[in-house]
């Protein structure tokens, strides 16, 4: 009589869905898409500028009164560093079926990038030279969408830099108003929105979506009071400095196996005075 052997649990083949550990949910990065990025290794960036000249129109008389030209100094000082450090013991890596070390450093790098992105967006709101109040209900009220974007365009168009493109950064909770507005808009636009999903361009303005809490009243290097605010402006007029990008260091530590991992980066953002009017601080009403 044939007897079936008892099979140990570990004799079965294991199936893995991924070749490495799942990554945590990650926020979309926006700052590099809307800023002028400086990768230089300088702590100070200088940008002297002159006062705007005034043209006089007069009856032809052949005389004039010369005015003074004033040059002002403006400096961007790179002030903040962003750091996350952890200890990954050797057994956690050596005895794991997954590459814990690589997966963890990748997540740490993403965490740094997200925090830098949040800082830059908040610094841009704080330095904006133009303000805009939305109608009651803000972006979540579909009927407000056309007016808000019309107001954004009205405050920016006509400047020479506008050719670089106009952007607007909202949070994910604002999207419901966009979706409803697009679905009820004119036939061609509504059909495109209904067939293709959320459209990232409204009236020629590029729309970027950040997660809730990106614009915050908190300390991110410096203290911000941006809760209930959003951002719009002309692309490529604000400087975002990130010398050498995000770096990773591995260090041996006495008394522990494995490695101490430090992920860090330096970053800052500057809204330059002559171009400040091209960045809009939007207040949700």
pLDDT at site 220 = 92
pLDDT at site 258 = 81
Alpha carbons 31 and 141: distance in angstroms, whole number: 26
pLDDT at site 94 = 63
pLDDT at site 135 = 97
Buried b (16+ CB within 10 A) or exposed e, 29-39: bbbebbbbebe
Alpha carbons 229 and 159: distance in angstroms, whole number: 24
Question: How many CA atoms lie less than 13 Å away from 141 in the CB half-sphere?
Answer: 11
pLDDT at site 7 = 56
Sort strands 247-251 and 217-220 into parallel, antiparallel or unpaired: unpaired
pLDDT at site 196 = 67
pLDDT, tens digit (0-9, with 9 covering 90-100), for 64-107: 999 988 999 999 999 899 999 998 887 666 656 567 777 788 88
Please report the DSSP string for the chain in residue order: ---PPPPPGGGSPP--SSSSPPPPP-PPP-HHHHSEEE----SEEE--EEPPP------S-S--------EE--EEE--EEEEEEEEE-HHHHHT-SS-HHHHHHHHHHHHHHHHHHHHHHHHHHHH-SEEEEPPTTGGGSTTHHHHHHHHHHHHHTTSGGGGG-EEEEEEGGGHHHHHHHHHTS-HHHHHHHHHH-S-SEETTEEEEEEPTTSS-EEEESEEEE-TTEEEEEETT-SEEE-TT--EEEEE--TT-SSEEEEEEEEEEEE--GGGGGGEEEEE--
Sort strands 130-133 and 75-77 into parallel, antiparallel or unpaired: unpaired
pLDDT at site 12 = 57
- For the chain, which residues score pLDDT lower than 50? none
40 in Cβ contact with 240 (< 8 Å): no
Q: Which two tokens stand for residue 273?
A: 């005075």
Per CATH, the homologous superfamily of domain 27-53+64-283 is phage-related protein like domain (3.90.1690.10)
Q: How far is CA 39 from the centre of its chain?
A: 16
87 in Cβ contact with 260 (< 8 Å): yes
- Torsion over CA: 186, 187, 189, 191 (sign): positive
Q: Which two tokens stand for residue 197?
A: 């999903």
- Name the residue among 155, 159, 133 with its Cα closest to residue 144: 133
pLDDT at site 234 = 98
Could you tell me the pTM of the whole model?
Answer: 0.86
- Name the residue among 46, 112, 59, 86 with its Cα closest to residue 266: 112
pLDDT at site 58 = 94
pLDDT at site 64 = 94
**Percent of the chain clearing pLDDT 70 (strictly above):** 84
pLDDT at site 10 = 57
pLDDT at site 6 = 58
The four Cα atoms 224, 77, 280, 113 give a dihedral, to 10 degrees, of: -70
């Amino acid at each position: 009589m044939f007897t079936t052997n008892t099979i140990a649990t570990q004799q079965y083949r294991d199936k893995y869905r991924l070749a490495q550990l799942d990554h945590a949910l990650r926020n979309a990065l926006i700052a590099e898409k809307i800023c002028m990025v400086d990768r230089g290794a300088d702590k100070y960036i200088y940008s002297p500028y002159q006062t705007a000249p005034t043209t006089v129109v007069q009856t032809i008389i052949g005389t004039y009164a010369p005015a003074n030209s004033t040059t002002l100094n403006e400096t961007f000082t790179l002030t903040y560093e962003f750091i996350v450090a952890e200890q990954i013991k050797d057994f956690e890596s050596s005895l794991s079926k997954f590459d814990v070390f690589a997966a963890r450093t990748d997540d740490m790098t993403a965490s740094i990038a997200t925090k830098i992105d949040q800082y830059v967006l908040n610094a841009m709101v704080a330095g904006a030279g133009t303000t805009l109040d939305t109608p009651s209900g803000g972006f979540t009220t579909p009927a407000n969408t056309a007016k808000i974007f019309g107001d954004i365009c009205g405050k920016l168009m006509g400047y020479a830099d506008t050719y670089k493109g106009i952007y607007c950064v909202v949070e994910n909770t604002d999207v419901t108003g966009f979706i409803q507005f697009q679905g009820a808009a004119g036939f061609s636009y509504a059909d495109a929105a209904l067939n293709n999903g959320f459209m990232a361009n409204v009236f020629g303005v590029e729309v970027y979506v950040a997660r809730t809490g990106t614009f915050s009243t908190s300390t991110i290097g410096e203290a911000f009071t941006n809760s209930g605010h959003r951002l719009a402006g002309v692309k490529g007029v604000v400087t975002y400095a990130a010398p050498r990008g995000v770096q990773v260091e591995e260090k041996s530590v006495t008394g522990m196996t494995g490695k101490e991992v430090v992920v860090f980066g330096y970053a800052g953002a500057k809204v330059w005075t002559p171009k400040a009017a091209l960045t809009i601080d939007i207040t949700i009403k």
